[in-house]
């Protein structure tokens, strides 16, 4: 255990989604990179205001879907026509037509797994502990409060300047957060 | 009852020789059908940007999951040798055997289990931000840790919201074809056979319309009392009830059209077996069930042409019960096409035994138990979604007009 606690960053509260959006724009214009905003619901236009690139989730979904499709077709062809060929009802050993329902279902299933678990992985969840949990006011983020944080890891970070900056762009209750 | 069934086998059911499928499949199709409304509300209405759905989607999704659980009970227990139920899955085994992928019954295994899994994921993803709200408002330690675990440490960061919203949209897109495919594949169980009255191409769309019809009726049956008991009148408003009644009217009329079309095609096909199957449905030994079905499913929804009826909660509740009954009888009538097959000497009449009846009643018990547990422990209305559609949630809301140039631009624009 280190004796001296290191700082994680600073956090400030904002009054409403409009102020938060405005603050995010200001932070981006000021050159901050590792800042984050927190809100009880997604704020429309925030991705642009923060200058975020598009989400990578659709690519993971696509990969999941293609994997499911491949598994579905291969499974039905291999089990029915290669490993244990057995004529049932005079039907062919394999045909894509009868393979369609199972292939479709497996594609959807794996695409959904890709979407959900991909989303959690990109968000680095589950995350039982976060430095912000120590800030009592931060509990309101899942209710009706809006916050913005700037991390120490940001190259622009300076304890005093960043605190002043948050106040300047409309933040209140500016707090230093320890790691 | 289920334990005795597993011990004794399906012989305790009222099945006989031409009627090899009885209440088990009737109940299965009934419950799966009910599930469809939840996915329709949560996925299709989401894609169509129907914002009113946010008030009812959470509990409709819960209803879907519980209905599918009830549905899965029936094929699960009807296999007779329940300890071999895993043979339905393509697992490598010492016999070197594989399931028969040419059978629609196996397609159904995949369709329903995928449907269940995707519905569960969709529901859970929607719940995560709300579970975080419950975590932050939890009073006791147990509650705090339980909700804390389930919410995975959600903290509302915008980078998270971005991926979350995209994932939710994709899931809605993936669930939409599922709504249509699941009951289509369920209908293949019947339509891919050679039984007169089953072997028809109208089955997939007819089953899907019926599923949505019955599902919305069940949502109505649950919504009317629970909004009253839990004081959710401000969230689930009369407008929601009216919109759902409109969907009941549309799908009910589609079902009525399908009934008429089945008769027309039976006559037009010139197949004497096909014609007989339908005449027998309407005037044979099961005519009573047929006319219950027609009066509940075709006549009942027609009341919803009138706005007075659509917005009257008592009427909506009572009619939804009729639709539930009617849709159960629809599946019963379809399944009972078996009782007079090709050979008159083998004709028979199916009567459910006490085991059939009590298992069906038991499935309602399971459904309502799960539903009440859900109402007790989880948010019945999607908290973060409702916040997100409030006018104040829009950063360009005119109330914020004086805040900075961004708001002003919007106000002038």
- Reported ipTM: the value is 0.86
Do B80 and B28 share a domain, yes or no? Answer: yes
pLDDT at position A98 is 87
Do B91 and B235 share a domain, yes or no? Answer: no
Answer whether residue B273 is part of any domain: yes
| B304 CB-near residues (< 8 Å, 6+ apart) | B245, B246, B248, B249, B252, B310, B319
pLDDT more than 90, % of chain B: 6
Q: pLDDT at residue A120 above 50?
A: yes
Helix/strand/coil percentages in chain A, nearest 5: 50, 15, 35
CA distance B114 to chain A (A): 6
**Residue B390 burial class via C-beta count within 10 angstroms: exposed 0-12, middle 13-18, buried 19 and up:** exposed
Do B248 and B296 share a domain, yes or no? Answer: yes
Q: pLDDT at residue B403 above 50?
A: no
Task: Pull the structure tokens for residue B253.
Answer: 């009329």
pLDDT digits (tens, 9 = 90+) for A33-43: 888 888 888 88
DSSP reduced 3-state for A94: coil
User: What are the angstrom distances between the C-alpha of A114 and each of A25, B132, B280?
Assistant: 32, 23, 50
pLDDT digits (tens, 9 = 90+) for A77-89: 898 888 888 888 8
User: What are the angstrom distances between the C-alpha of B294 and each of B212, B258, B298, B299, B300?
Assistant: 17, 11, 5, 7, 9
**Contact across the interface for A57 and B163, Cβ inside 8 Å:** yes
Mean pLDDT score of chain B, rounded to an integer? 83
Q: pLDDT at residue A4 above 70?
A: no
CA B257 to chain centre: 21
Do B54 and B29 share a domain, yes or no? Answer: yes
Do B171 and B246 share a domain, yes or no? Answer: no
| A41 CB-near residues (< 8 Å, 6+ apart) | B129, B161, B384, B385, B387, B388, B393
**Is B181 an 8 Å CB contact of chain A?**
yes
pLDDT at position A106 is 92
pLDDT at position A110 is 93
**Residue B302 burial class via C-beta count within 10 angstroms: exposed 0-12, middle 13-18, buried 19 and up:** middle
Q: pLDDT at residue B400 above 70?
A: no
pLDDT digits (tens, 9 = 90+) for B351-369: 888 888 888 888 888 888 8
pLDDT at position A19 is 83
pLDDT digits (tens, 9 = 90+) for B77-86: 777 777 777 8
**Contact across the interface for A58 and B162, Cβ inside 8 Å:** no
Residue where the block lists tokens 């959600």? B154
Answer whether residue B370 is part of any domain: yes
Q: pLDDT at residue B166 above 90?
A: no
Answer whether residue B323 is part of any domain: yes
Arithmetic mean of pLDDT, A139-145: 81
Q: pLDDT at residue B23 above 70?
A: yes
Q: pLDDT at residue B402 above 60?
A: no
DSSP reduced 3-state for B70: helix
Determine which of B167, B194, B399 to mutate to test the interface with A (most A C-beta atoms within 10 Å). Answer: B167
Arithmetic mean of pLDDT, A61-71: 92
Domain boundary among B349, B368, B403: B349
List the 189-218 stretch of B: residues with Cβ below 8 A of A: none
Which residue did the predictor score with more confidence, B324 or A49?
B324
Which chain B residue is nearest to residue A42, measuring alpha carbons? B161
**Is B164 an 8 Å CB contact of chain A?**
yes
Q: pLDDT at residue A3 above 70?
A: no
pLDDT at position B412 is 37
Q: Measured between beta carbons, which residues in chain B are less than 8 angstroms from residue A125?
A: 152-154, 160
Which chain B residue is nearest to residue A78, measuring alpha carbons? B98
**Least confident piece of the model among A131-135, B33-37, B154-158, B408-412:** B408-412
Do B25 and B174 share a domain, yes or no? Answer: yes
Instruction: Give the C-alpha separation, B113 to B119, whole Å.
Output: 10
Q: Measured between beta carbons, which residues in chain A are less than 8 angstroms from residue B145?
A: none
pLDDT digits (tens, 9 = 90+) for B220-267: 888 888 888 887 777 888 888 888 899 899 999 999 999 999 889 888
For residues B397 and A18, the answer to whether their CB atoms sit within 8 Å is: yes
Instruction: Give the C-alpha separation, B263 to B258, whole Å.
Output: 9
Domain that holds residue B141: 20-178+351-390
Residue A48, CA atoms < 13 Å, CB-side half-sphere: 3
Q: Kindly list the domain boundaries of chain A, sorted by start residue.
A: 7-53+129-178, 57-122
User: What are the angstrom distances between the C-alpha of B159 and each of B194, B360, B382, B390?
Assistant: 55, 47, 21, 22
* CB burial string B11-32: b at 16+ within 10 A, e below: ebbbbeebbebbbbbbbbbbbb
For residues B342 and B273, the answer to whether their CB atoms sit within 8 Å is: yes
Determine which of A98, A108, A137, A150 to mutate to test the interface with B (most B C-beta atoms within 10 Å). Answer: A108
Helix H or strand E encompassing B410: helix B404-412
- Tell me the pTM: 0.85
Q: pLDDT at residue B93 above 90?
A: no
Helix ranges (H only) for B192-312 are 203-229, 238-269, 272-283, 287-294, 307-310
Do B356 and B345 share a domain, yes or no? Answer: no
Instruction: Give the C-alpha separation, A105 to B301, whole Å.
Output: 33
**Contact across the interface for A141 and B136, Cβ inside 8 Å:** yes
The count of domains in chain B is 2
pLDDT more than 70, % of chain B: 95
Candidate ranges B79-83, B188-192, B209-213, B356-360; pick with highest mean pLDDT: B209-213
Q: Measured between beta carbons, which residues in chain B are less than 8 angstroms from residue A46?
A: 158, 161-162
Instruction: Give the C-alpha separation, B43 to B61, whole Å.
Output: 10
**Residue B202 burial class via C-beta count within 10 angstroms: exposed 0-12, middle 13-18, buried 19 and up:** middle
Which chain A residue is nearest to residue B185, measuring alpha carbons? A101
List the 67-126 stretch of B: residues with Cβ below 8 A of A: 90, 96-104, 106-107, 110-111, 114, 117-118, 121-122, 124-125
Do B213 and B344 share a domain, yes or no? Answer: yes
Do B115 and B233 share a domain, yes or no? Answer: no
pLDDT digits (tens, 9 = 90+) for B297-343: 898 889 989 988 888 888 889 999 999 998 998 888 888 888 887 88
């Amino acid at each position: 255990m280190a004796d001296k606690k290191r700082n994680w960053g600073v956090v400030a509260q904002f009054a409403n989604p409009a102020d938060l959006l405005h603050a995010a724009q200001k932070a981006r214009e000021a050159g901050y990179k590792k800042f984050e905003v927190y809100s009880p619901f997604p704020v429309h236009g925030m991705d642009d205001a923060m200058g975020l690139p598009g989400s990578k989730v659709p690519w993971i979904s696509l990969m999941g879907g293609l994997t499911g499709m491949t598994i579905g077709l291969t499974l039905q062809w291999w089990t029915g026509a290669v490993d244990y060929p057995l004529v049932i009802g005079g039907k062919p050993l394999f045909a894509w037509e009868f393979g369609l329902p199972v292939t479709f279902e497996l594609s959807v299933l794996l695409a959904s797994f890709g979407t959900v678990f991909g989303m959690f992985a990109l968000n680095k969840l589950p995350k039982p502990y976060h430095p912000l949990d120590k800030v009592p006011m931060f509990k309101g983020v899942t209710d009706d409060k809006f916050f913005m944080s700037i991390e120490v890891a940001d190259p622009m970070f300076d304890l005093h300047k960043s605190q002043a900056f948050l106040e300047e762009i409309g933040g209140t209750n500016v707090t230093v957060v320890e790691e | 009852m289920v334990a005795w069934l597993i011990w004794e086998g399906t012989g305790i059911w009222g099945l006989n020789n031409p009627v090899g499928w009885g209440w088990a499949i009737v109940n299965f199709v009934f419950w799966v059908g009910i599930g469809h409304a939840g996915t329709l509300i949560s996925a299709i209405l989401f894609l169509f940007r129907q914002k009113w759905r946010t008030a009812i989607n959470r509990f409709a999704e819960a209803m879907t999951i519980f209905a599918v659980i009830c549905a899965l009970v029936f094929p699960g227990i009807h296999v007779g040798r329940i300890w071999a139920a895993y043979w339905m899955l393509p697992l490598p085994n010492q016999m070197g055997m594989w399931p028969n992928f040419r059978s629609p019954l196996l397609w159904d295994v995949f369709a329903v289990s995928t449907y269940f899994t995707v519905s569960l994921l969709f529901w859970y993803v929607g719940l995560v931000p709300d579970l975080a709200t419950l975590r932050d408002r939890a009073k006791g330690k147990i509650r705090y840790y339980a909700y804390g675990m389930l919410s995975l440490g959600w903290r509302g960061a915008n980078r998270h919201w971005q991926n979350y919203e995209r994932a939710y949209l994709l899931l809605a897109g993936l669930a939409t074809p599922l709504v249509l495919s699941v009951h289509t594949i369920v209908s293949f169980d019947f339509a891919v056979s050679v039984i007169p009255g089953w072997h028809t191409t109208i089955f997939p769309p007819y089953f899907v319309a019926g599923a949505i019809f019955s599902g919305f009726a069940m949502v109505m049956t649950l919504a009317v009392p629970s909004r009253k008991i839990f004081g959710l009148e401000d969230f689930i408003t009369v407008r929601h009830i009216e919109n759902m009644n409109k969907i009941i009217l549309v799908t009910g009329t589609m079902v009525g059209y399908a009934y008429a079309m089945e008769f027309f095609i039976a006559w037009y096909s010139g197949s004497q077996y096909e014609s007989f199957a339908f005449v027998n449905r309407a005037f044979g030994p099961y005519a009573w069930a047929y006319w219950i079905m027609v009066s509940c499913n075709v006549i009942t929804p027609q009341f919803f042409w009138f706005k007075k009826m659509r917005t009257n909660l008592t009427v909506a509740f009572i009619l939804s019960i009729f639709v539930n009954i009617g849709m159960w009888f629809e599946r019963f009538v379809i399944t009972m096409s078996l009782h007079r097959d090709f050979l008159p000497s083998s004709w028979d009449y199916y009567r459910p035994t006490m085991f059939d009846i009590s298992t069906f009643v038991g499935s309602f018990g399971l459904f309502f138990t799960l539903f009440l547990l859900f109402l007790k422990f989880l948010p019945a209305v999607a908290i973060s979604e409702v916040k997100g559609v409030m006018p104040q949630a829009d950063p360009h809301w005119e109330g914020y007009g004086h805040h900075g140039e961004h708001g002003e631009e919007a106000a002038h624009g």
